[in-house]
Structure 1
Amino acid sequence: MSDSQSTDDLGFARVDLDRERRTGDPEVVYGAGKTPEQVVTLLTRLHAAHPGRAVLATRLDPAAQERVRADLPDAVLDPVAGTATLGEPPAPRGRVLVVSAGTSDAPVAAEAAVSVRVHGAAVERIGDVGVAGLHRVLAVRDRLDEADCLIVVAGMEGALPSVVGGLVGVPLIAVPTSVGYGASLGGLSALLGMLNSCAPGISVVNIDNGYGAGVAAARIARRTAR
């Protein structure tokens, strides 16, 4: 397919309309740095190109969320995740469990959960099971083992993925968050802790990248179910 056929030039952005054919998933709107009007235009164009499934916008500030709500009343907004979904998600294949350490990690965990659902896997969440209360993680071990893929979200020292990775053999995607006091260095400490985990089978995405973790986990779950 030629570039002119696979993209849509809106002046401020070139929309990749061929991505679903190549990868199985349509392009997603990254809302940070875009005006509310641009977010609405991009979501509308993607939805028109993919009417049979949901399209997603992430990292929407309150102004962008309000504009989407006003102009696209059928869109589903998640103010915690900062996302907007337009259209019906695919029938879910496989199951992902999103596990987060604390309430402060909720926005990243919510973004991951929405991304999983939009990208075609079922999703459940377990929150507030950080390592400061290790009994809370141990109490849900059976649920961890039942998932096709895990997303584990944590800030501070980023220890939760190592603990979970030592309890179960489920594919695990770790997400460091920028939550923590000064020496957490905006999530760098959690990132390095996860990269240096001694628990095998852990993959790590970038700081606060719930979307990237959600896409990867959904693809693993879909393949497992297939």
Structure 2
Amino acid sequence: MLRTQFEEDLANLHRQFYEMGRMVSSAVDKSVKSFIRHDKEIAQGVIDDDVEINEAELQLEKKSLEMIALQQPVTKDLRIIITVMKAVSDLERIGDHAVAIAKSTIRVKGETRILEVEEKISEMSDAVKELLDEVMAAYIENDEGKAREIAKKDSAVNQHFSEIYKMSIEEMKRNPDTIVGGTDYLQVAGFLERIGDYVTNICEWIVYLQTGKILELNTNRTE
């Protein structure tokens, strides 16, 4: 009976973690859309909804600690709970970066835009969201191999950042009117790059869940 309850609690933990992942993925998508479209209403929605993401993190951490204290799990079961506790922290940080992007939208007051850079930021956001959705699927499927492949894809996100950085700096040198907007572009691209790093962290926790080993899958991440 106790085992059945524990297994039910584990299933709920997985479900709640996945739901939090979906909320975070949506926040990232909406935050960049709000930035590109200069839509402060969408941006404010991302900021307001972050309360739910933070609450989800607290509930998952609380439940995880309760399960460790009351059930005293060992080996694989303990690794599952540790993985959730660690990965949920990464999800919460991704949510924080989505909020930071939304706040950049709120700050924008009609600065001169660089449309080519905005298009590249949109592409970068799509790549980041795809990685985030893929890592949540890998988590649900307990797919260590997929997690390793996703971590490798983060290099493409880093390449997007390099291109955005170069394009923004060149345009800011050429046209001083773009300096304020260009600075925002660099900030947003930096947030997206760090989101990619947090996705890699989650990949590492999936590998840990399956192997019991903590590995660094991407040595080129930024902190």
| Relative contact order higher in (CA < 8 Å, ≥ 6 apart) | 2
TM-score by length of 2: 0.27
TM-score by length of 1: 0.26
The structure with the largest helix share of the pair is 2
The structure with the largest strand share of the pair is 1
